[in-house]
Homo-oligomer: A and B are copies of this chain.
Amino acid sequence: MTLPPQPGPPAERSPRAIPEATVSRLAIYLRVLGQLAEGGAETVSSEELAAVSGVNSAKLRKDLSHIGSYGIRGVGYDVASLQHELEKVLGLDHPQRVALVGVGNLGHALAGYGGFGGRGFPVTALFDVDPDLVGVPLGGIEVHHVRDIAAVVPAAGVTIGMIATPAQAAQAVCDELVAAGVRSILNFAPAVLQVPEEVEVRKVDLAVELQVLAFHVARRSGGITEGVATVSPVVNGRHGSAVGLS
């Protein structure tokens, strides 16, 4: 068999307004802002927001500067309005509909995950090949056969696909989703997906994550300390939980 011919396309430049690394942190800031808002905070400084988000304040300010100037000098950021701006940038003003393919062990858990952190990403369509699953409703949503992706996905207005199938099936499912118009895919299968360049794939790869951790265990020559534990509720040892200097 031949390899996917991917020599060297003439590198189409998209003028990326917001750096990729920044985008995923914006999502974290948004979550943290939600917690602060619940706690009654009206404003936050970059120092505070950064500390709770686990980044340093310069990075946070640079990240936020990419979406505009919503801070107040000498004060900080207004929690509510920053939340709103972040939601707008992340495209959360109108919710995305999600299709999940593969309702096995993992897929089942994903389907039941309740809006993924609270809100914004309703799973609207489910697919599998297993005859025992197809037709059965799961959390109020019927499981369709994978062969019906082309029909169901466009009708349901799905914009994001999640693949939680075994590795062998993942590429075929991915092709189906792409053919059905899906341009954003979250892949849980341990397989590298080949897609046209207009399709955005992100992967969640448990085996890779564990192997990276194993690498660090090995490198640190001895994962577990031999003497039994120290004190139990060891709070963080890093920069002070509130405001710390770098």
Which A residues are within 8 Å of any B CB, using their own CB? Answer: 1-6, 8, 18, 23-24, 26-28, 30-32, 47-48, 51-54, 56, 89-92, 96, 98, 105-106, 108-110, 112-113, 116-118, 120-121, 129, 146-147, 150, 153-154, 157-160, 166, 168-169, 171-173, 175-176, 178-186, 190, 192-198, 200, 202, 204-220, 223-226, 228-239, 241-246
Which residues of chain B come closer than 8 Å to A2, judged between CB atoms?
A: 237
Contacts of A223 in B (CB 8 A): 96, 159-160, 181-184
- Nearest B residue to A107, CB-CB: B109
Pick from A116, A154, A216, A239 the residue with the most CB of B within 10 Å. A216
Bound form: Cα–Cα A115–B245 in Å? 28
- Which residues on the B side are within 8 Å of A117 (C-beta)? 190, 206-207
Contact A244 B172 (CB under 8 A): yes
Name which of A112, A153, A172 has the most chain B CB atoms within 10 A of its CB.
A172
Copies in the assembly, this chain:
2
A179-B237 CB under 8 A given contacts A31-B190, A200-B216, A219-B91: no
**Hey, which chain B residues are within 8 Å of A18, CB to CB?**
215
Q: Are B3 and A183 in contact (CB under 8 A)?
A: no
Given the complex of chains A and B, what is the CA–CA distance between A217 and B207 in angstroms? 28
Measured CB to CB, the nearest residue on chain B to A121 is B210
- Select one of B179, B207, B218, B243 contacting A31, CB under 8 A: B207
